[in-house]
Amino acid sequence: MLIQPLRIGIYGVSGAGKSRLSKQLSHYAEVINSIDGSKAIAQVTPGGLTAFKKFDESQQKYYRQLSLDSLQEQFEREGKHLLVTGHYCFLKNASLEVVWTQNDAQFYDLIFLLQPTVEQLCIQVEKDKFRRRDTAPYILRQWMEVEEEGLSFACEKAGIPLVRLSGNQAVDKIERQVIEKIYFHAIAIYAKRIGEKHKNIVLCDCDGTLNRDDAFNLIANKTINNDAVTKIFKSYPEYCFNAFYEVSCLIQTNREELDSIINEGLKRLNMNTRMTAKLSELKERLNVYIVFISSGIPCAWKQAIQGVSEYSIIGGASFGRYGMIITNDVKEHLVKELVSYGCHVVAIGNGSNDLGMLIHSSNAIVVFAQKPKEQMLEKLKNAGKSFELLQLA
């Protein structure tokens, strides 16, 4: 189950590419349920969509709510991100009918709006052999304007983040943007949840921090190896989303082989005794809630963490496995969100991927094995950040 699943809407006029994007994201079936909104309504309506279209407004509102109730049950039962395609308004009898309701406003956590150009939309509509639509450019332009303006107002009123996406891009590029927005918003909601419950929090990196080992090193083989991962990161000037995304795709591609060797690697993973002692001391002194945040394989560390009570572990290098990708920016975003809720945050990390988290924390602890990384310490000093050093045994 994901640490923070979301209910996500994919909106846009007919022909904007909602179904194409939904299908593209369906290969993350372990963490995303992609649902066609019309089919969801059809499933709860006697007679399906044909009957639904003949109902009056009050009857249609009833079955729309019934479909949302069904989707909410699925969301709670399966614990995955739920992605639903939908419309703010429909073209009906040469006019536009708004179908967005207050129930929709109370349902969604995040909404994406696909916005191709009118010219591109006309091309896509003409290619659709299954649904006949009026393709007059001025009608499509009006529809897109009402969809955008209405949805923008509705989302602002309901406090739902609305992310506009250019529909003229290749679907794999849109996929990247969607994935990044999903896990950033998931982190924000997660931060709100724990920030309202706990006032003293430890954010602790895993690989190279909990001990000298990287969990990935212990399971790497000829198919998924450090050379392949290192090559990806070195192709970028810094640790960034695109680099982590490519690593995520590498892991997703080799998922079956990864699963077959991961258990063997877990047997060799343990917490360093000095980290156990430090976390115990923080727990006793500050009564902290501990969040372990991994940019690698959190399930590996879940089995290795010992002597720690009341904690959660989040993250992962594979969106397809964990529903998020942890980057330096994500760690920084999490600590900033927690601090905004008045939390005292102790951040513990060992590398450049922890810099943002360390700089914006209330207290920073830099972990090292042989000797501290001078470049990293210099960046902390330049940011005016004091820190504690902790050498692993």
Q: Where are the domains of the chain?
A: 7-185, 199-391
For residue 170, give both structure tokens: 């290749």
Q: Which residue has the higher pLDDT, 211 or 132?
A: 211
Q: Given this model, what pLDDT does residue 27 score?
A: 86
pLDDT at residue 303 is higher than 80: no
Average pLDDT along the chain: 87
Q: Which residue has the higher pLDDT, 120 or 103?
A: 103
Overall average pLDDT of the 176-199 stretch: 94
Report how far apart, in Å, the C-alpha atoms of 191 and of each of 183, 185, 339 are: 12, 10, 9
Confidence of residue 53 (pLDDT cuts 50, 70, 90): confident
- Classify burial at 74, counting beta carbons within 10 Å of its beta carbon; exposed 0-12, middle 13-18, buried 19 or more: middle
User: Do the domains spanning 7-185 and 199-391 agree at the CATH topology level?
Assistant: yes
Confidence of residue 255 (pLDDT cuts 50, 70, 90): low
7-185: what fold? Rossmann fold (3.40.50)
Query: Which one of 3.40.190.10, 3.90.1150.10, 3.30.1360.120, 3.40.50.1000 gives the CATH number of domain 199-391?
Result: 3.40.50.1000
How many CB atoms are located within 10 Å of the residue 103 CB? 13
Confidence of residue 298 (pLDDT cuts 50, 70, 90): confident
pLDDT tens by residue, 330-386: 999 999 999 999 999 999 999 888 999 999 999 999 999 989 999 999 999 999 999
Confidence of residue 393 (pLDDT cuts 50, 70, 90): confident
